[in-house]
Amino acid sequence: MKGLFSFTFNMLLTMNKLYIITIILIVFASSCSDKEEQDDKYLIILSLDGFRWDYPDEANTPTLDSLAKTGVKALSLKPCFPTKTFPNHYSIATGLYPDHHGLVLNRFHAVDLKKNYSISKRETVTDGDFYSGKPIWNIAEEQGITTATLFWVGASADINGEHSSHWGYYDEKLPWQARIDSISKWLSLPLETRPRLIMWYFHEPDATGHEFGPNSREIIAIVEQLDEFLNKFFTQMRKLPIYDKLNFIVTSDHGMSQISPDKIILLDEVVDTADLEYADGGNPVYNLKVKDGKLDKLVDSINNSNKHITAWRHGMVPGEFHYGTNVRTLDLTVVSDSGWSIYWSWKQGKGLGTHGYRNTNKDMHAIFYAAGPAFKNGFSQPTFNNIDIYPLAGKILNLKLPEVDGKIDNVSEMLR
Ligand code: AMP
Ligand code: ZN
Ligand code: ZN
């Protein structure tokens, strides 16, 4: 009897052990597959500044064409207003309109902080106080995904005390090849430090577009050179053992408009500058701080001066522009029609191209290409907003995202 009891007891014990071991194995295996599934997902986003949506129609761009064939090409990417570099790169990074993330222009006085922000002053671009919203690299880091940035707007700032794991101070002179080498190096790191989200940037064809205009031979030449650079980049990426897991986005912040000396409005000939406290911005978009009691007079004088310039009061910018409610946009937002320049008589611009106009102007739209295991093959995406890139990136990397202005529904069709 005792023998039978101990046999049964031992058997139960063994079964129990087996059961426990099986459960442990199942839990371990599923956590491994979750981890592997997560580790499989990489996203590398490149912004080529000022790459207008239709440049590839004019130039020879075999690398971009092959991205479109194997992946996704959008008809165009609609930037946020104002169509300037800093507001838009930070909109891509946060999924928020400039009114909501606080970089309302490239240079502005932050009334709320009593501080000036300027893209050319390192102490301001690195000051996290200016930046609202949560950039996607910080979201990813918080959720255990290592990230790297190479000169993306906002990435050199401590935003809520956080940073991407790999980043550097802006250096426009860093050659293209050195940028590719950094990315190859990062993607060859051991798993624990290897980034799975990389956001990098190059300042062309914006610089050439400003100098020679979007209709120039020089633009065709730089666009073709960038396409060759891209070819070098992808050739190097193909050598990586994880190449098959890499998703790529090649995009831009805005387009470019041709400007000319016969389409110039001098703001100081339109307004009485004695009525102004100060003005932020540059051709063709400004925010004005107006002296007490002078607002009506100023709005009337601008709106009755030339039909190609418009002034909107704070809070009265048409809803489609999602702008003019942030305290940093001051009392008045002034913009001209595409192709028209707004200068001060003492500060006129050089060059044949600019941007900053309403985002409803098609020449302000940018490129968007994507390819990799997450994307469909040969998919034509209709025009969409650049703030939608944030939920798109979040979906690819399985991130939990806060509520933002961008919407996944606008872009989910391009995913497999
Ligand atoms: P925009 O005046 O809007 O054409 O601005 C373009 C300029 O922004 C380029 O000349 C870049 O050198 C500059 N820029 C872009 N990203 C950064 C950055 N992260 N830090 C500093 N300057 C930048
Ligand atoms: Zn730009
Ligand atoms: Zn520019």
Tell me which of 298, 319, 350 is where a domain ends: 350
Tell me which of 298, 328, 350 is where a domain ends: 350
Residue 188 burial (CB count, 10 A): 12
For the chain, count helices (H), then strands (E).
13, 19
**Residue of 45, 51, 85 to test ligand 1 pocket, by largest number of atoms within 8 Å of CB:** 85
User: Which residue, 416, 372, 368, 371, is CA-closest to 389?
Assistant: 368
Same domain, yes or no, for 337 and 382?
A: no
3-state secondary structure of 282: strand
What is the spatial distance between Cα 327 and Cα 282, in angstroms, rounded to a whole number? Answer: 19
Which pair of structure tokens corresponds to residue 20?
């426990």
The answer as to whether 52 is a domain residue is: yes
Same domain, yes or no, for 333 and 369?
A: no
pLDDT at res. 202: 98
The answer as to whether 389 is a domain residue is: yes
3-state secondary structure of 311: strand
CATH of the domain at 342: 3.30.1360.180
Angle formed by the axes of helices 176-187 and 217-238, nearest 10°: 20
Same domain, yes or no, for 236 and 343?
A: no
Same domain, yes or no, for 216 and 244?
A: yes
Counting the structural domains of the chain, the total is 2
Give the distance (Å) from ligand 2 centre to CA of residue 116.
20
Report the largest interatomic distance among the alpha carbons of the chain, rounded to a whole angstrom: 111
Give the distance (Å) from ligand 3 centre to CA of residue 176.
19
Give the distance (Å) from ligand 2 centre to CA of residue 356.
9
Host domain of residue 282: 264-350
pLDDT at res. 38: 52
The answer as to whether 216 is a domain residue is: yes
The answer as to whether 131 is a domain residue is: yes
Q: Which long-range contacts (CB under 8 A, 24 or more apart) does 407-412 make?
A: 410/384, 410/385, 411/381, 411/384
pLDDT at res. 40: 85
Same domain, yes or no, for 231 and 297?
A: no
Q: Which residues line ligand 1 (CB under 6 A)?
A: 49, 84-85, 106, 119, 125, 151, 153, 170, 172, 201, 203, 206-207
Give the distance (Å) from ligand 3 centre to CA of residue 36.
41
Same domain, yes or no, for 374 and 284?
A: no
Low-confidence ranges of the chain (pLDDT < 50): 1-15, 18-37
Closest atom of ligand 1 to 201 CA is: 16
Closest atom of ligand 1 to 84 CA is: 3
Tell me which of 303, 330, 350 is where a domain ends: 350
pLDDT at res. 235: 98
Same domain, yes or no, for 56 and 79?
A: yes
Give the distance (Å) from ligand 3 centre to CA of residue 105.
12
The answer as to whether 374 is a domain residue is: yes
Give the distance (Å) from ligand 1 centre to CA of residue 86.
7
Same domain, yes or no, for 337 and 208?
A: no
The answer as to whether 17 is a domain residue is: no
The answer as to whether 8 is a domain residue is: no
Same domain, yes or no, for 231 and 283?
A: no
Same domain, yes or no, for 365 and 248?
A: yes
**Residue of 46, 81, 90, 203 to test ligand 1 pocket, by largest number of atoms within 8 Å of CB:** 203
Q: Determine phi and psi for 249, rounding to 5 degrees.
A: -125, 130
The answer as to whether 50 is a domain residue is: yes
Closest atom of ligand 1 to 49 CA is: 6
CATH of the domain at 209: 3.40.720.10
Average pLDDT, the chain: 93
Q: Whose CA is nearest to atom 16 of ligand 1?
A: 153
Q: Whose CA is nearest to atom 20 of ligand 1?
A: 170
Q: Give the pTM.
A: 0.92
Same domain, yes or no, for 47 and 136?
A: yes
Same domain, yes or no, for 90 and 126?
A: yes
Give the distance (Å) from ligand 2 centre to CA of residue 49.
5
Q: Determine phi and psi for 222, rounding to 5 degrees.
A: -70, -35
